[in-house]
Amino acid sequence: QQPVQSPQAVILREGEDAVINCSSSKALYSVHWYRQKHGEAPVFLMILLKGGEQKGHEKISASFNEKKQQSSLYLTASQLSYSGTYFCGTVGNEKLTFGTGTRLTIIP
Amino acid sequence: NAGVTQTPKFQVLKTGQSMTLQCAQDMNHEYMSWYRQDPGMGLRLIHYSVGAGITDQGEVPNGYNVSRSTTEDFPLRLLSAAPSQTSVYFCASSSQAGGPVETQYFGPGTRLLVL
């Protein structure tokens, strides 16, 4: 079952902050975050592991609440290059399942 | 390293035709997977493999076959193409065997149109 992402789309002005949420109905071992530019392949941003270990990007942070089975991605002081569609992915039974995505548009 | 490569980049098929989408990686990754991407549906897992000789089904396996005879290659076969299989197909690989916990490296994708 796919994790649920919110919001589905968001438009920001350059320099503003954004939060993208991801929730699952299943217990989570880890959460992945990827960004996809139009016409390109998804690119890795971050992995959050059960127990709090976090790997990833300098200017983008995330949280992982294991009990609530939720993760949030925080983009601060957004730049034009942050535009794209963000996907969270959850791992279970050897499978990585992605959400339906959040389209982020940054305008000057 | 070339990373993950996919061929062809674009393909047009007629209903009922068969074809194979190629995926190869040169990073000695054990875990490989195929996803399809449709508007509004995100990335949906078709099949995956935890190593040579081992494959399993994902969320949407119907109409697709896979095999993994080598660590490097993971082809996806469409047995009898249908318009519902029109999509963009991505292959991905990671170094973690037995679980996709590590970073997934995606290929550039194959855009398939079935008429």
* Contact at CB, B44 and A98, closer than 8 angstroms: yes
Residue owning tokens 């305008």: A107
**Quick one: closest CA in B to A93, which residue?**
B99
Q: Alpha-carbon distance B71 to B51, whole Å?
A: 6
At B98, is the pLDDT very low, low, confident or very high (cuts 50, 70, 90)?
very low
Tell me what percent of the residues of chain B surpass a pLDDT of 90: 84
A101 at B interface, C-beta within 8 A: yes
Average pLDDT over residues B11-15: 97
Look at residue A20 and tell me whether its pLDDT is greater than 80. yes
Q: Alpha-carbon distance B62 to B30, whole Å?
A: 24
* Contact at CB, B42 and A43, closer than 8 angstroms: no
| Number of Cα atoms under 13 Å in the Cβ half of residue B68 | 21
What pLDDT score was predicted for residue B73? 97
Average pLDDT over residues A92-102: 87
What pLDDT score was predicted for residue B66? 98
* SS3 state at A14: coil
Q: Which of B43, B56, B102 shows the shortest C-beta gap to A98?
A: B43
User: Over the stretch A34-91, which tens digit does the pLDDT of each residue have?
Assistant: 999 999 999 999 888 876 655 556 678 888 888 888 999 999 888 999 999 999 999 8
Q: Alpha-carbon distance A99 to A31, whole Å?
A: 11
At A106, is the pLDDT very low, low, confident or very high (cuts 50, 70, 90)?
very high
Paired tokens of B112:
């398939």
* Contact at CB, B42 and A47, closer than 8 angstroms: no
Paired tokens of B67:
């095999």
The DSSP 8-state label assigned to residue A7 in this structure reads: -
Q: Which of B45, B106, B109 shows the shortest C-beta gap to A97?
A: B45
Q: Which of A34, A44, A95 shows the shortest C-beta gap to B45?
A: A95
The bridge status of strand B4-7 relative to strand A95-98 is unpaired
User: Over the stretch B16-48, which tens digit does the pLDDT of each residue have?
Assistant: 999 999 999 999 999 999 999 998 788 999 999
